[in-house]
Structure 1
Amino acid sequence: MSGVATSIATVCLSGTLAEKLDAVAAAGFDGVEVFEPDLVASPLSATQIRERARTLGLTIDLYQPFRDVDSTDPAQFERNLARAEAKFDVMSGLGCDLMLVCSSPLPTAVRDDAVLVTQLRTLAERAQRRGIRLAYEALAWGTHVNTYWHSWEIVRAVDHPSLGLCLDSFHVLSRGDDPDRIADIPGDKIFFVQWADSPAMAMDVLQWSRHHRNFPGQGSFDLRRFAVALQSSGYRGPWSLEIFNDTFRAGDPVRTARDGLRSLRFLQDSAHCVGDDLFTAPDVEPLGDVVSVRIAAGPGKSSTLQSVLGALGFVPAGRHRDYDLQLWRQGQLTVVVDASPGTVWTAPGLPAHLPALTQIGIRSDDPASWARRAHALAVPADSVGLPGVEPDDAVARVEVTGTTSVDVRAPSSAASWGAAFVPVPGVRTATSVPVLTGVDHVGIAVPDDEWDSVILLLRSVFGMEPHDEPDITDAVGLMRNRSVIAPAGSSTPFRLTLGMVTGLAASTFGTARRGGIGHVAFSCDDIFTAAAAMRRRGFTALPIPSNYYDDLAARFGLPGELLAQMAASGILYDRDADGEFFHLFTPTLGADLFFEVVQRVGGYRGFGDANAAVRIAAQPA
């Protein structure tokens, strides 16, 4: 599993410089970039910082940034050289021999390559006398030098052993530059590499960079392509993170640092085929079906939940011998209702809400391989026994949020698990043709401060790919919405939809919110048959207004007979270029949880998000 050396800039984290160094070391990084404002604000001297880093087992890999060295004003350039000499003194105290030099965004920046080459060569000669190297970086908003290839042309023309490149994936990819030419740069002239991901955004690149960077795996940049080109260049130095992100700067530095190291391991693993010195995570067996969900209901909500499960066609199969767990089944699907007293939190400091989804069970032929992969990526994955089940049937449990985990189970665990339950007398648990055929997707609520961390976990451990979905209109504002889907090649698509709980929405969760977020969507082959069966069991469809069906007729030209049939059962509809989507909903159960029944026709890829506002209005508050 090895891997190249890892580093992180102190600007990524909250806290004092000393606290940041502690967090970086606790996460397992090899080194650190010292961000100059952190040093300036620290009561520790450069020598004390060097000693603290040494004690923690960290190298100080880079001192940054040195800005605006070049100038069209010769007197100003001389002052810049004097400023650089002062920074060389600081670096001597830090025990660091590499300084980041940024291209200038000022109006006074040199616009003549020949003059710029002369000035940088002068600085490089000064640095060489002090045993220091300079890593020249093209800022994406630089006045004259703003592409990595232009910065390489400058470095090549300077031709000095103390001047090389710093490549920052944000500055390259935010401009849409082609990273493939990095492979043509000699690896020994790339002195340092900084990584950052980001969602695609249409905004000023400077503001984008200063507030919206993410760790690799949390955005949409093609970092693997960048990494492949970098490996081909022959660069073998540290892989470092430089992330400007308002949420990271306000969060727990230890958790942020751990996410950062995980992101670098994930990135290296994605590109390991081009270099065996990169970190590689253990291989895993493919994920199979989602076969079970566990719902905490407590004593007060279990009867309501059981009533809705009965309407969906589930029947009580057993009661646990030792715990207040009730087993409900339909075909191969299992729902465990946890009626024991307990508290489920939406986020730290928010009130309990029940019922709530707590576990998602997925089949795999080798659960242990998933535990090994999670551990390699520094994600806690407990090998836990199911209550009352022998240790041989343990599962790999990965906590996704503070309230919901994914349990990867071997197929053999079903029989052992079932044996832990006492059958309900007089209840026939098998049906010849189950109406519900599987779990199409599961929706979970994610607090805003966990959002990026959860995305990274799902991508790195389970190989899921994120897809932006339309924001959902909520009674207290807009809710950010994203789906993550298991990659092609999985035996059955594993789909999660994530809803961000932020600000006012979080503080009013369970009161002002309508509709909720957490849900389980069951698949079926014929939604009209499923709806009829639910009605026979006493289910009352949500009251969908006739305006909605009039709009469907106008948008999609659906026949009147079909629309009438849909209206009678509260069925909603969507269509894309690949297929159609029919779905219906139960009311919310408590503050958040509801169930959905869906039928996909053809290759429809979405989740019917266009219908979210109608669903929320129809579900009782």
Structure 2
Amino acid sequence: MSTPVRTSIATVSLSGTLEEKLVAIAAAGFDGFEVFEPDFVASPWSPKELRTRAADLGLTLDLYQPFRDFDSRSEDQFARNLVRAQRKFELMEELGCETLLVCSSPLPTASHDDGQLVEQFSALAELASEHGKKVAYEALAWGGHVNTYRHAWKIVEEVDHPSLGTCLDSFHILSRGDDPAGIRDIPGEKIFFLQLADAPFMAMDILQWSRHHRNFPGQGSFDLSTFAGHVHAAGYTGPWSLEIFNDVFRRADTQRTAVDAHRSLLHLEEQVSAAVSVGDGPELFTAPERTPLEGIVSLRVAAGPAKQDQLHTMLSSVGFHLVGRHRDHDLQLWRHGLLTIAVDATAGTVWSAPGLPADLPVLTQIGIRATEPEVWGRRALALEVPVEQVRLPGSADENAEVPDVVRLKVTDATSIDLRGPGSAAAWESAFDIYPLSAARNRAEASVLTGIDHVALAVPAESWDSVMLLLRSVFEMHPHEGLDVTDSVGLMRSQALTLVQDGSGNTLRISLNMVDGSRSGLPTVRRGGVSHVAFSCENIFAAAATMADWGYAPLPLSPNYYEDLEARFGLNAELLDRMRGAGILYDADAHGEFFHLFTPTVGADLFFEVVQRVGGYEGYGEVNSAVRLSAQLRAE
């Protein structure tokens, strides 16, 4: 029976002292670690003390790294480099570490002669063998001569020594655009080590990209599942290790980063497992499969007393009305057809947290209907995401083990609630419900049909963690990230989508990066960041009906419509109708997009109504600056 994949992480990936890093690595569930030489050099521990502490924590020391600039055109320098290598092998003996990482050299003095490189690495391999050690040769993407994995493997293959193999690093390979399919041609036993890193696509110097912007699998843009699938198919059986250089991670909470790191490897294993046939290699992790979701059906907004009147006015203007109040909490139930929004003014909720302006409206819960929330709970727990399983008073069987709601904390302010089929009735039983107007109900049926997407404010230090949670648990697909320029600055925005085959339901969440407060909650960005976009079938009919309910169009610049006519060739009649209702427009190769906005409630939250025509895939991001300018004028 095969054994699970062993997981490892380089100490450079985390903040803190070496002691703090090892404790966090062990607590997160890793099997081992790579010691980054500067971490060890700065540590007060002797080699024996590090070896003992690692063993006490149940960790193996999988790699000592990096050994730089080994090869040289100068024979005198090469002789000196062999002395350095011997000292490292002696140190590794004390540490209890078997493998040394040697990087290709970027220096002008590096050898550019493959024959000389073969001679030098033959000598290094023989020295390693004398000490019972191994050398993993890695091609740096910016190496002066050897800068591709194929070239590094060519040197290793020509040396043909049992103590010399190659190290494959996903960043060095994928950042260059290399095709990783050739990895399958490398014998698995000659792949001595595997280092994994994701990264967003960036147009910048590779060295700077590598040193500052790597992140964990599932947080960037690389196709790591295909890459790791090639490594697995080659027969590699060693650790899957993370080597991450990231400025945010270096100052983030050590334990939280380590937990995210381990989750990212589990998620990657699951992706590879779904794509490859079962072989003789290590057993890949799998989690319970996703079950159907019916989309977002409810929201909770926390707002203090001073902002509630403004929030109520805005809800009424888009067709929501108050239908009940909770008997035990300061919680109001607002409804539009099948859509529900709970307005929470209960003392001690998130709006009163330190660092946030008093009464700021905050989106605190996103309710998604799930046929089997308990399966999602098991899936999240398997991926090491904490969950709260809730049985609601008034459930059909309050003693049943199956939860009505599975709650996942996404940001410090907002959770996702996966609600079972009976949760709505059970939850509503705790409210005093008011009688509704039949005429109002009939009018609603032709206006808002659902929730198209939700946008969340995410502090910069939580960005990668939130991204990983949504991609691992829900397998949401990220769109290309955007830097949105508007009249109050520059904001990074990232949309994620989950399209469920056969169900017709699409889950869309957009993340907007903001500065964080001391509490870990997002600080206010004047002009709005968080919002809820409601879908409709006919935006012109929706705007007309909403006008009867008190909706006033945002004052959009006339220049905007002149530009639309020039860009898209829209006819004058359509432009006049859009201008009169404050409707904005975009189109892509798949369809069209019409949308309108409310003013902001406070400084952050606002509502949007959208109509998608055809298969339009975007969010109308090109209109962000126009929208924000109009909202600022409406304050």
TM-score normalised over the length of structure 1: 0.96
Question: 8 Å contact 1:266–1:377 — kept in the other structure?
Answer: yes
Equivalent residue in structure 2 for 1:278, among 262, 278, 284: 284
Cα 1:508–1:478 change in 2 (3 A) is farther
Partner of 2:127: 126
- Secondary structure of the residue aligned to 2:490 is strand
Q: 2-side partners of 1:7 and 1:351: how far apart?
A: 42
Pair 1:146-2:143 in alignment: no
Q: 2-side partners of 1:603 and 1:368: how far apart?
A: 33
Amino acid at match of 1:605: E
Partner of 1:235: 236
Amino acid at match of 1:436: L
Distance apart, 1:278 and its partner CA: 0.7
Cα 1:118–1:603 change in 2 (3 A) is same
Question: 8 Å contact 1:323–1:340 — kept in the other structure?
Answer: yes
Pair 1:378-2:378 in alignment: no
Distance apart, 1:382 and its partner CA: 1.1
Distance apart, 1:475 and its partner CA: 3.9
- Report which stretch shifted further, 290-299 or 305-314: 305-314
> 1:293-346: per-residue Cα shift (whole Å, max 9, x none)?
111123332232222222211222221222221111122111111122234269
Amino acid at match of 1:62: L
Question: 8 Å contact 1:3–1:268 — kept in the other structure?
Answer: no
Question: 8 Å contact 2:11–2:33 — kept in the other structure?
Answer: yes
> 1:2-42: per-residue Cα shift (whole Å, max 9, x none)?
73000000000111111111111111110000000000000
Distance apart, 1:563 and its partner CA: 1.4
> 1:487-520: per-residue Cα shift (whole Å, max 9, x none)?
452641100111100389x999877x43211111
Distance apart, 1:121 and its partner CA: 0.8
Distance apart, 1:104 and its partner CA: 1.1
Equivalent residue in structure 1 for 2:505, among 460, 474, 492: 492
Pair 1:563-2:563 in alignment: no
Question: 8 Å contact 1:514–1:616 — kept in the other structure?
Answer: no
Partner of 1:224: 225
Question: 8 Å contact 2:188–2:234 — kept in the other structure?
Answer: yes
- Secondary structure of the residue aligned to 2:89 is helix
After superposition, the CA RMSD in angstroms is 2.2
Distance apart, 1:349 and its partner CA: 4.1
- Report which stretch shifted further, 416-425 or 521-530: 416-425
Partner of 2:515: 502
- Secondary structure of the residue aligned to 1:480 is strand
Partner of 1:417: 427
Question: 8 Å contact 2:292–2:500 — kept in the other structure?
Answer: no
Pair 1:529-2:529 in alignment: no
- Report which stretch shifted further, 534-543 or 413-422: 413-422
Q: 1-side partners of 2:592 and 2:165: how far apart?
A: 55
Partner of 2:367: 361
Q: 2-side partners of 1:149 and 1:315: how far apart?
A: 65
Q: 2-side partners of 1:197 and 1:483: how far apart?
A: 18
Partner of 2:330: 324
Amino acid at match of 1:521: A
Amino acid at match of 2:51: R
Cα 1:348–1:52 change in 2 (3 A) is farther
- Secondary structure of the residue aligned to 2:217 is coil
Equivalent residue in structure 1 for 2:442, among 424, 431, 434: 431
Amino acid at match of 1:615: R
Pair 1:608-2:620 in alignment: yes
Pair 1:307-2:324 in alignment: no
- Secondary structure of the residue aligned to 2:543 is helix
Amino acid at match of 1:408: L
List gaps (5 residues or longer) in structure 1. Answer: none
Pair 1:515-2:532 in alignment: no
Partner of 1:549: 561
Pair 1:296-2:306 in alignment: no
Partner of 1:334: 340
Cα 1:379–1:426 change in 2 (3 A) is closer
Distance apart, 1:419 and its partner CA: 2.1
Distance apart, 1:434 and its partner CA: 4.2
Q: 2-side partners of 1:347 and 1:258: how far apart?
A: 25
- How many residues get paired? 620
Amino acid at match of 1:617: S
Question: 8 Å contact 1:347–1:402 — kept in the other structure?
Answer: no
Partner of 2:418: 408
TM-score normalised over the length of structure 2: 0.94
- Report which stretch shifted further, 579-588 or 412-421: 412-421
Cα 1:2–1:387 change in 2 (3 A) is farther
- Report which stretch shifted further, 84-93 or 334-343: 334-343
Distance apart, 1:286 and its partner CA: 2.2
